[in-house]
Structure 1
Amino acid sequence: MLATFFVALWLGFSRYGKLKLGKRDQPEISTFKWISMIMATLLAGGGVFWAAAEPMYHFVDAPPLFGEDNNPSTALAQSFMHWGFLAWAILGTLSAVVLMYGHYHKSMPMKPRTLLYPMFGEKINNNIIGKVIDAFSIIAVAAGTIGPIGFLGLQASYGLQAVFGIPDVFLTQLMIIIGVVFISTISAVTGLYKGIQWLSKFNVRLALGLLAAVLLVGPAGFIIDQYVVSLGTYLTEFVSMGTYRGENEWLGLWTIFFWGWFIGYGPMMAMLVSRISRGRTIRELMVAVAIIAPVVTTFWFTVVGGSGIYFEMENPGSVSDALMDTGMHAAMIAITEQLPLSWIITPLFLLLTVLFVITTTDSMAFTISMGITGDGNPTSKLRIFWAVLMGVIAAILLYIGEGGVEALQNFIVVTAVPVSILLLPMIWLAPKVAKKMANKA
């Protein structure tokens, strides 16, 4: 992942950075809508679920690399490592360049197998290796999407009980998942440039509004100060955190799980990024995905998670008790209920979580359908099928209980292993492809 990030930066700011992608001179959608679609798809429930829970967890129980409890900057810096530059770089930088070259310049299908076109040529389109690649990529992203749907069921159900007194039971979780699937199917019928685009734009605007609200009524000075300090810690310890191989149990629960999750998303996110990035330059792509997206994400984690740390420092146990006693899904409510105007801010955070997961469900149903058909505009019926299937599996896992969700987390990591092998060659194939495009320009 370190290599992917550094090669992506080099490629974006090299002489190849000016190359237009997708055989199109002008972008199909505006820059704001483009970045919104990319960010809303990956952040999913993580944008609220993990932004509230992870920094607080690292604050209470310090990461082994740092070994100092109750340190806000190291708690946030460790969260930045999991959700920052390396995570975003693996999702749609080098792989998107290779995929766009294969699909738009060489007329290969919009499928994960096309990532290996520069190595195998057209043979990859009709042999067993290509089929295996597609299958593993689809399974990995489906598992990675089912997770946020399940996390949403837990978090939203708990939030509804805390705010409105609605019982936090499986039936409530099931109704939430049914609502997510229903809205995703409506979005699927309206198409890529209406449903997903509108949801993504609304998501980002709501997130920006809530960010401004928290800064206005919350501990703004603490948030800004901790962002600067934590970002400095993140950058100075960047290589150390990225290569840490100490405590295996901790790594399995955190770094390996998160990076396995993101790697599993890699091929399908590359397909989505490729589908919406025609007319963009390589530099625009690298800056948007590898720089802008992680900077925004880390600041968002500081606003949400940093507020939680502030409240915990002012009133020990006010956030950590809910986190440790009830679970990670309780952290967001414990934080937002301590803010002024919590009666409106808390429901809006719940709405944001739901909308993020709806966008991810719809986007991944769209890309899975592309991966099956090889068509950039798959039928709405196929998209609806996958949205419903992922919702059903998430509901079953929640019904099973904690063991089901834990099994899914382990499955996410397992499915990421073959996908990581697929993404590894992108480190040298993307520069190779860029050189070929430059020679033909």
Structure 2
Amino acid sequence: MKQRMKQEVMDRPVFWISGGLLLVFVALSIYDLSMVEGWINSSFNFSANLFGSYWELLLLGNFVIGLILAFSKYGKVKLGKLEKPQNDYFKWVAMILCTLLASGGVFWAASEPMYHFVTNPPLFTDHSSTMAGVEPALAQSFLHWGFLAWAILGTLATIVIMYVHYHKGYPMKPRAMLYPIFGERIFKKSVIGSAADIVSIIAVAAGTMGPIGFLGLQVGYGLHSLFGIPNTLTTNIIVIAALVVIAAISVATGVDKGIQFLSRLNVGLTVLLALVVLIVGPTMFILNKFISAEGFHIQNMLTMALYQGDKAWLGYWTVFFWGWFLGYGPMMAIFIARISRGRTIRELILAVSVVAPLVTNFWFTVVGGTGIKAELTTPGSISTPLSEGGMPAAVMSIMDQLPLGLLLAIGFLFVTIVFVSTTVDSISYTVAVTLTGSDEPKRWIRVFWVLIFGVLSVVLLSIGENSISAIQNSIVVTAVPVSILMLPTLWNAPQIAKKLAAEQNITSPAKVPKSAEDSELVKE
């Protein structure tokens, strides 16, 4: 492959600006957390109100266009200039699953269905805390963690990035999504290109540091609940340190070794936990409600995806999640591009937009559905701990309702640590890729970002729990420029698919425009 630009060169301006902005955020939080919270809340509300509708359309359009590509003749196009995939199907899907599912793997899976069950979403008839409210509660969770959420992480954007890097030979960076518009100029000391990389790093850093600190709080609560270990800052820091060590070892050994191994281990443990809960828990209730709730979800998906009623509810739920996942979008697209060489467009779209969401939805039904069944049987058994102790209390309460509850609770805590570790290692890898443009960045750069995320999370946690919520909410603000960056992929990915289909003799060769400058996509 002809290399257009020198690889493995640190982009110092992007490094210093993105790193500097993160340090400024932490410094301001130390100086006056209330001030920072005020800024973020104001920016959060502004972003949610002004861009919420746009994000709904963006995610829906991204999903629909991806499916059209997958089931068209362009679905046969192979990506990444490899005849055979690098990884077998299980390893590949395991690494994909440990992106988004890692963020909501345990605590959101236990708590969100319960929140929606106790108070049904406003767009549905109010059947709160009754059998009729089960399907709406699960379906709303399916929307937030299902087809649309997964599709924005690694479908159309991944196609564009794989084309620009593996087929055209340019650096693997978020700015590659703008190559079809600006051409090679986007990689040459481009202010727009640097801005694209910087906002992508800032957004994903906020979305990573938040869950790390959040994990420390949640696991600290779980250890106190199970073993009486004091739920102190020291305990939380030890948990985060363990997570950082696991992630550092994983990312140091590379995508094809450490990250792949950790992902397979994580998925294997999750499957084991799901089977145990399914067997010892309300088996038929889980199976029946998964099928009926998935049907309800598909039937009402368009309505839920485009709902514009209760703005406060949307900002707290759907728009918040869309901002969070959009913030992850460019980096996850890079990661999925790295592990998907040799796969066809159809394989990519179906794995990310269909298989991964269905697995996620079933997991949410296993965990959250078990909690809902317990709440139906004994009102208040899950909802009361959830309202008083938050999400970790919901997990512990659900496990208390089951045989082998202690062992299952320990298993859930362990899986949570491994889940978040897989997120941290993959994100650290993609930040290193962004800074170097190479899909094999140097080891020290990969490990450096794991350590930075861990240290900054500990600093934020030491300031107070509100600092973790603040940086988590800030991802919605940073998602605004990221969502604009990802918009062109909706029409550029189909153009790229058409061009590659002609090159691979899937369709007849496309006619070259009279002017070679008419389209960068057909310019060789």
TM-score class normalised by the smaller sequence: over 0.9
Indicate which of 106, 113, 124 corresponds to 2:186.
124
| TM-superposed deviation, 1:155 | 1.4
**Could you say which residue in structure 2 is the equivalent of 1:333?**
396
Q: Does 1:401 align with 2:459?
A: no
| Amino acid of the structure 1 residue aligned with 2:503 | K
Superimposed CA distance per residue, residues 44-74 of structure 1 (whole angstroms, 9 cap, x where no aligned partner): 2411110001001111122111151121111
**Could you say which residue in structure 1 is the equivalent of 2:108?**
50
Alignment of 1:13-162 (within 5 A): 13-68=71-126, 69-70=128-129, 71-126=133-188, 127-162=190-225
**Could you say which residue in structure 1 is the equivalent of 2:363?**
300
How far apart, CA to CA, are the structure 2 residues paired with 1:343 and 1:48? 16
| Amino acid of the structure 1 residue aligned with 2:423 | T
| Amino acid of the structure 2 residue aligned with 1:308 | G
How far apart, CA to CA, are the structure 2 residues paired with 1:439 and 1:224? 45
How far apart, CA to CA, are the structure 1 residues paired with 2:119 and 2:237? 32
Superimposed CA distance per residue, residues 247-272 of structure 1 (whole angstroms, 9 cap, x where no aligned partner): 11111111111111110111101100
Indicate which of 184, 193, 197 corresponds to 2:256.
193
Indicate which of 256, 270, 274 corresponds to 2:333.
270
How far apart, CA to CA, are the structure 2 residues paired with 1:397 and 1:72? 37
How far apart, CA to CA, are the structure 2 residues paired with 1:113 and 1:190? 27
How far apart, CA to CA, are the structure 2 residues paired with 1:119 and 1:45? 33
Q: Quick check: 181-190 or 46-55, which moved more?
A: 181-190
| TM-superposed deviation, 1:233 | 1.3
Q: Does 1:204 align with 2:262?
A: no
Alignment of 1:215-230 (within 5 A): 215-230=278-293
How far apart, CA to CA, are the structure 2 residues paired with 1:64 and 1:167? 39
**Could you say which residue in structure 1 is the equivalent of 2:12?**
none
Q: Does 1:309 align with 2:367?
A: no
**Could you say which residue in structure 2 is the equivalent of 1:180?**
243
How far apart, CA to CA, are the structure 2 residues paired with 1:240 and 1:308? 26
| TM-superposed deviation, 1:399 | 2.3
CA RMSD in angstroms comes to: 1.0
Q: Does 1:356 align with 2:419?
A: yes
Q: Does 1:286 align with 2:349?
A: yes
**Could you say which residue in structure 1 is the equivalent of 2:64?**
6
| Amino acid of the structure 1 residue aligned with 2:331 | M
Relative to the length of structure 2, the TM-score reads 0.83
| Amino acid of the structure 2 residue aligned with 1:8 | G
SS at match of 2:440: coil
| TM-superposed deviation, 1:407 | 1.1
Give me the identity figure in percent. 55
How far apart, CA to CA, are the structure 1 residues paired with 2:274 and 2:165? 38
How far apart, CA to CA, are the structure 2 residues paired with 1:62 and 1:409? 25
Superimposed CA distance per residue, residues 308-351 of structure 1 (whole angstroms, 9 cap, x where no aligned partner): 00111111111111110011232111111211111211101111
Superimposed CA distance per residue, residues 218-238 of structure 1 (whole angstroms, 9 cap, x where no aligned partner): 001111111111111111111
Relative to the length of structure 1, the TM-score reads 0.98
| Amino acid of the structure 2 residue aligned with 1:112 | P
How far apart, CA to CA, are the structure 2 residues paired with 1:427 and 1:43? 24
- The 8 Å contact of residues 220 and 239 in structure 2, kept in 1 or not, is answered as yes
| TM-superposed deviation, 1:401 | 2.5
How many residue pairs get matched?
A: 441
| TM-superposed deviation, 1:189 | 2.0
| TM-superposed deviation, 1:393 | 2.1
Indicate which of 208, 213, 229 corresponds to 1:166.
229
How far apart, CA to CA, are the structure 2 residues paired with 1:382 and 1:175? 24
Superimposed CA distance per residue, residues 71-103 of structure 1 (whole angstroms, 9 cap, x where no aligned partner): 111111100110000000100000110110000
| TM-superposed deviation, 1:395 | 1.9
The runs of at least 4 aligned residues of structure 1 exceeding 4 Å deviation read none
**Could you say which residue in structure 1 is the equivalent of 2:301?**
238
Q: Please, which runs of 5 or more residues in structure 1 have no aligned partner?
A: none
- The 8 Å contact of residues 399 and 406 in structure 2, kept in 1 or not, is answered as no
How far apart, CA to CA, are the structure 1 residues paired with 2:100 and 2:146? 12
- The 8 Å contact of residues 113 and 138 in structure 2, kept in 1 or not, is answered as yes
Q: Does 1:384 align with 2:442?
A: no
How far apart, CA to CA, are the structure 2 residues paired with 1:125 and 1:190? 29
How far apart, CA to CA, are the structure 2 residues paired with 1:324 and 1:397? 24
Superimposed CA distance per residue, residues 390-426 of structure 1 (whole angstroms, 9 cap, x where no aligned partner): 1122222322333212211320100111000011111
| Amino acid of the structure 2 residue aligned with 1:75 | A
Which structure is larger by alpha-carbon Rg, 1 or 2? 2
Q: Please, which runs of 5 or more residues in structure 2 have no aligned partner?
A: 1-58, 505-524
- The 8 Å contact of residues 210 and 469 in structure 2, kept in 1 or not, is answered as no
